[in-house]
Structure 1
Amino acid sequence: MAKKVVASLKKTDGKSYAKVIRAVKSEKTGAYTFKEEIVAADLVKEVLAKK
Protein backbone atom coordinates (compact mmCIF):
# COMPACT_ATOMS: atom_id res chain seq x y z
CA MET A 1 0.00 0.00 0.00
CA ALA A 2 2.88 2.39 0.69
CA LYS A 3 4.09 2.06 -2.87
CA LYS A 4 0.82 3.52 -4.16
CA VAL A 5 1.16 6.57 -1.90
CA VAL A 6 4.77 7.20 -2.95
CA ALA A 7 3.90 6.76 -6.61
CA SER A 8 1.05 9.24 -6.36
CA LEU A 9 3.32 11.83 -4.75
CA LYS A 10 5.60 11.87 -7.81
CA LYS A 11 3.03 13.07 -10.35
CA THR A 12 4.23 15.90 -12.55
CA ASP A 13 0.94 17.76 -12.86
CA GLY A 14 1.87 20.83 -10.82
CA LYS A 15 2.80 20.90 -7.15
CA SER A 16 5.07 18.34 -5.62
CA TYR A 17 4.03 16.78 -2.34
CA ALA A 18 5.82 15.22 0.59
CA LYS A 19 4.66 12.78 3.24
CA VAL A 20 5.46 14.01 6.76
CA ILE A 21 5.52 11.40 9.55
CA ARG A 22 5.93 12.64 13.09
CA ALA A 23 6.03 10.80 16.42
CA VAL A 24 3.54 12.15 18.97
CA LYS A 25 3.77 11.15 22.63
CA SER A 26 0.47 10.35 24.35
CA GLU A 27 -0.02 12.22 27.62
CA LYS A 28 -2.11 9.41 29.15
CA THR A 29 0.07 6.38 28.46
CA GLY A 30 3.41 7.87 27.48
CA ALA A 31 3.47 5.72 24.33
CA TYR A 32 4.37 7.18 20.96
CA THR A 33 2.00 7.18 18.01
CA PHE A 34 2.71 8.31 14.50
CA LYS A 35 0.80 11.06 12.71
CA GLU A 36 1.07 11.13 8.92
CA GLU A 37 0.29 14.10 6.69
CA ILE A 38 0.71 14.77 2.99
CA VAL A 39 1.63 18.41 2.40
CA ALA A 40 3.02 20.53 -0.40
CA ALA A 41 6.81 20.27 -0.60
CA ASP A 42 7.30 23.99 0.02
CA LEU A 43 5.31 23.82 3.31
CA VAL A 44 7.24 20.95 4.95
CA LYS A 45 9.40 23.14 7.19
CA GLU A 46 6.36 25.12 8.40
CA VAL A 47 4.43 21.94 9.23
CA LEU A 48 7.38 20.50 11.15
CA ALA A 49 7.94 23.77 13.03
CA LYS A 50 4.46 23.87 14.57
CA LYS A 51 3.62 21.59 17.47
Structure 2
Amino acid sequence: MAKKVVATLQKKEGKNFAKVIRAVKSEKTGAYTFKEEMVPVDQVKDVLAKKS
Protein backbone atom coordinates (compact mmCIF):
# COMPACT_ATOMS: atom_id res chain seq x y z
CA MET A 1 0.00 0.00 0.00
CA ALA A 2 2.87 2.37 0.69
CA LYS A 3 4.13 1.96 -2.86
CA LYS A 4 0.82 3.27 -4.17
CA VAL A 5 1.07 6.43 -2.04
CA VAL A 6 4.66 7.06 -3.06
CA ALA A 7 3.80 6.60 -6.73
CA THR A 8 0.90 9.05 -6.41
CA LEU A 9 3.06 11.68 -4.72
CA GLN A 10 5.66 11.49 -7.48
CA LYS A 11 3.19 12.84 -10.03
CA LYS A 12 3.30 16.51 -10.83
CA GLU A 13 0.24 17.43 -8.74
CA GLY A 14 1.44 15.33 -5.79
CA LYS A 15 4.29 17.71 -5.05
CA ASN A 16 1.88 20.28 -3.65
CA PHE A 17 1.25 18.24 -0.51
CA ALA A 18 3.11 17.94 2.78
CA LYS A 19 2.96 15.24 5.44
CA VAL A 20 2.19 16.68 8.87
CA ILE A 21 3.07 14.53 11.88
CA ARG A 22 1.76 15.66 15.24
CA ALA A 23 2.38 14.20 18.73
CA VAL A 24 -0.85 13.94 20.73
CA LYS A 25 -0.91 13.14 24.44
CA SER A 26 -3.54 10.66 25.61
CA GLU A 27 -5.68 11.89 28.51
CA LYS A 28 -6.12 8.37 29.93
CA THR A 29 -2.57 7.05 29.94
CA GLY A 30 -0.45 10.14 29.39
CA ALA A 31 1.34 8.36 26.53
CA TYR A 32 2.02 10.14 23.27
CA THR A 33 0.69 8.94 19.93
CA PHE A 34 1.41 10.34 16.51
CA LYS A 35 -1.19 11.53 14.01
CA GLU A 36 -0.14 11.77 10.38
CA GLU A 37 -2.02 13.57 7.66
CA MET A 38 -1.40 14.81 4.15
CA VAL A 39 -2.34 18.45 3.60
CA PRO A 40 -1.81 20.95 0.78
CA VAL A 41 1.38 22.97 1.24
CA ASP A 42 -0.49 26.26 1.54
CA GLN A 43 -2.59 24.95 4.48
CA VAL A 44 0.26 23.57 6.63
CA LYS A 45 0.39 26.57 8.98
CA ASP A 46 -3.39 26.49 9.47
CA VAL A 47 -3.35 22.77 10.32
CA LEU A 48 -0.47 23.20 12.78
CA ALA A 49 -2.19 26.19 14.41
CA LYS A 50 -5.24 24.05 15.26
CA LYS A 51 -5.25 22.37 18.63
CA SER A 52 -5.69 18.53 18.35
**Would you say how many aligned residue pairs link Structure 1 and Structure 2?**
49
Counterpart CA distance in 1 for 2:10 and 2:39 is 13
Residue type of the alignment partner of 1:32: Y
Uncovered stretches (5+) of structure 1, i.e. residues with no partner: none
Residue type of the alignment partner of 2:36: E
TM-score normalized by the length of structure 2: 0.76
Uncovered stretches (5+) of structure 2, i.e. residues with no partner: none
Where 1:13 maps in the other structure, the secondary structure is: helix
TM-score normalized by the length of structure 1: 0.77
Task: Give the number of the structure whose residues are more often helix, by fraction.
Answer: 2
Counterpart CA distance in 1 for 2:22 and 2:46 is 13
Where 1:28 maps in the other structure, the secondary structure is: coil
Same amino acid, percent of matched pairs: 76
